[in-house]
Amino acid sequence: MAFNKKKTAAVGVAAVMALGALAGCDLVSTDLQKDYEQVVADVDITASAEFQSGGEYAAYADVIQPSTVIKRDLVASFMNVGYLYVESYGYSYADTYELILSSLVNRALYLQYAQVYFFESGDYTVDGYNAAVAAAEEGEKDIAGLAYFLDEDEIAAAEYEVKVSMNTVIDSIETEIIAFEDEHDHDEARTVPTGVDTVNEDFVDPAYKIYTGTNSASDCGTYETVDESTPSTRTRAYKRFLSNINSYGLVEKGENTSGITSLSYYHMQRKSAYEDAVIDKLGEAFEAEAAEGITEEWVKAKFNETLASQQELFSNDTASFETALDGASDTSFVLYAPDENYGYVINILLPFSTTQTAALDAAPADRGDVNGNKFGTRASLLQNVRATDQRKTWFTGHSDYSFVAEESDNAYTGGNSERQYLFFENNLKKSGEGEQYEPLANYYGKYTYNGTVVKSEDEHGHTEYTITPAQISIDGFLSEMTGYLNANGYTLTESVSASSSYYNKSVSDYYNADGTVDYSSFVYYEAKVNELSDFNANEVFVAGSDENNVMSMMNELSFAYNTDTAGLNSYLGYSVSPNSTDYMKEFEYAAQEAVRGGAGTIVVVPTDYGWHIIYCTFSFAGNTPYTFDWSQIEEEGTFSNLYYEALKASNLTTYSTSRQTEIINSYDNDDCVTTYENRYSDLILDGTSSDPHAGHNHS
């Protein structure tokens, strides 16, 4: 897990500029354009004493340029995020606009300070800055001043990012146009794995261009059109985009709008992207400062301290432990368990049909069972449960994620050559070092859609699929599961084999002599992956490890067949305690049995919902499953890597927040910031009024 750079918290809202707000319809009349150009805040840190003659930063007083916040920025930010504060969190309009304005002011302060910081580092000089600005063409000098602090790769990333952002907005408009015209009914979308189509943050495509419909999408580098896009829908989306920015007064009189990169608006967005790059660079500098304190001794001390704290707490407070177990993630770790029989399981539910459920509900209880159990009737119904591959909407939903597997993909087809479709080509085949997309974690990606798929085009040129999923019994599922594992080098040893005799039990077979239910009698199948006999908890999230490969295959089968959608995209699955739980008793027994068997154990049982295939992803085979090894902190996915990165991120956040607060508190005062509330009081709608000619100091 690489450390993810994040924009500093104090300027987070301010980074949301007008771009994202332009995806909707025209909202602002041209009569308000002039109003939206009003300056609502002036920001200038050089007005502080440090920049005056004899001050610490006096040498930079003529270089750091003052900046302004205009009314349009307030409106755009409100449309993007501010309205959520009003509608979802109960903020007043006044409080929300003050929050947004404060964030925009903070961004300006922070950006101005960033330049001071870089001058102070000694790597940049005032003379060098002035020379870079002087050499730039008119209209490019503001960007040249920012670019001076960036290297070639950072400049390329800023130029790429603004084009991606522009395409994203036009994509959103085009998607709305297509959806409005699309008369096809779509099923409810199936959840996709976390990380689908996530772009590598370091990827830059020099050939990338903005697609407006007048150019060819194939000439736009790695840009990918939205589903069912045509030159006509794209052209209309671009025209609507132009109409929207014009309504904000962002198209200057006489501008040629046929070329998007020549628009003054495009220049504004480029400048914003360069500003973001400078802010990010300051964040990286803070990261480097914070990293100096992250030594091997410090991390090991933190690990031992947390382990000792958890051992003391969890040994005496089982409830706290189980709460921690539910909240575990790749940034929050459970280092100690009070009992070895704790763990996690993936649950794949193959459900009863509506008709079968009704039949079970209508059946009488077994021999007057006071708890209403109907095990005999349920067993007869279980034999006819049929599961289907649930990934149909990955073909027909908002995005078509499917692709035809090639021989090199080593796709699993269950022996059916007509099964040829896999999913998420971007993540599976266009990912890795230097590639456009991030790899897809914990999803193996070689299990083909189980059913027939016929692809065609309708009269309008839209892609259509006729999809008929195969219907498989529990034995059919086990055959698919075993075959998929075997095809990728994993074998199973069965301790309970599936048998048709399971359905012929007498009612008494489900009960102990004392009349209590014998939950072991419900186990239909139990097995363990042989290659996980030496399970290593430190390797669970290491791509390519046995622990991760098998978990990823079972996770993929869950996405394919599981109707218990709450279990999709969970960290390790459902947490399992050896104590009494709120789970249905058959499930509780089987999950505990799987955890007792250890990671790689598979147990199949029914409940009144249908069949459950339960796979143990992780078990606390000992009280302390993890070991921290400093030599592994750069090995992606190891526990040591995840733990180190989590501490690093937390430490940086604390340090960065402290530095931000220090910087902003130093300059957010009457000398450096002036706001003009009367110029945006009409937005607040709180009944206050101000002298239309007066400004007042920001505090």
Confidence class for position 397, pLDDT limits 50, 70, 90: low
pLDDT of residue 270: 94
Phi/psi of residue 373, nearest 5 degrees: -70, 140
pLDDT of residue 114: 96
pLDDT of residue 75: 81
Distant-in-sequence, close-in-space partners of 692: CB < 8 Å, separation ≥ 6 = 678
pLDDT of residue 623: 86
The CA-to-CA distance between both ends of the chain, in Å, stands at: 41
* 80 has pLDDT over 80: no
Proportion of the chain in helix, strand, coil states, percent, rounded to 5: 50, 10, 40
What does the pLDDT look like over 189-208, one tens digit per residue?
A: 899 999 999 999 899 999 99
Name the most confidently modeled range: 93-97, 327-331, 449-453.
449-453
pLDDT of residue 596: 96
pLDDT of residue 184: 52
What does the pLDDT look like over 203-233, one tens digit per residue?
A: 999 999 999 999 999 999 999 999 889 999 9
pLDDT of residue 85: 85
Confidence class for position 23, pLDDT limits 50, 70, 90: very low
* 10 has pLDDT over 60: no
Mean of all residue pLDDT scores within the chain: 89
Cβ-contact 302, 647 below 8 angstroms:
yes
Phi/psi of residue 605, nearest 5 degrees: -140, 165
Confidence class for position 699, pLDDT limits 50, 70, 90: very low
Q: What is the maximal distance between C-alpha atoms in the chain?
A: 97
Distant-in-sequence, close-in-space partners of 331: CB < 8 Å, separation ≥ 6 = 642, 646, 649, 650
Confidence class for position 685, pLDDT limits 50, 70, 90: low
* 64 has pLDDT over 80: yes
Among residues 623, 622, 412, which one has the least CA distance to residue 535?
622
Domain ranges of the chain: 1-15+45-124+672-699, 339-387+472-622, 393-469
Share of the chain above pLDDT 90, in %: 73
pLDDT of residue 87: 84
What does the pLDDT look like over 461-497, one tens digit per residue?
A: 778 899 999 999 999 999 999 999 999 999 999 999 9
pLDDT of residue 405: 96
* 649 has pLDDT over 70: yes
Distance, CA of 418 to CA of 416 (rounded, Å) = 5
pLDDT of residue 110: 94
What does the pLDDT look like over 554-565, one tens digit per residue?
A: 999 999 999 999
pTM for this model (two decimals): 0.86
pLDDT of residue 595: 97
pLDDT of residue 247: 74
Confidence class for position 285, pLDDT limits 50, 70, 90: very high
Confidence class for position 15, pLDDT limits 50, 70, 90: very low
Distance, CA of 306 to CA of 165 (rounded, Å) = 42
Among residues 331, 604, 578, 356, which one has the least CA distance to residue 482?
604
* 29 has pLDDT over 90: no
Average pLDDT over residues 536-542: 96
CA 133, 137, 142, 144 dihedral sign is negative
Confidence class for position 18, pLDDT limits 50, 70, 90: very low
pLDDT of residue 108: 95
* 136 has pLDDT over 70: yes
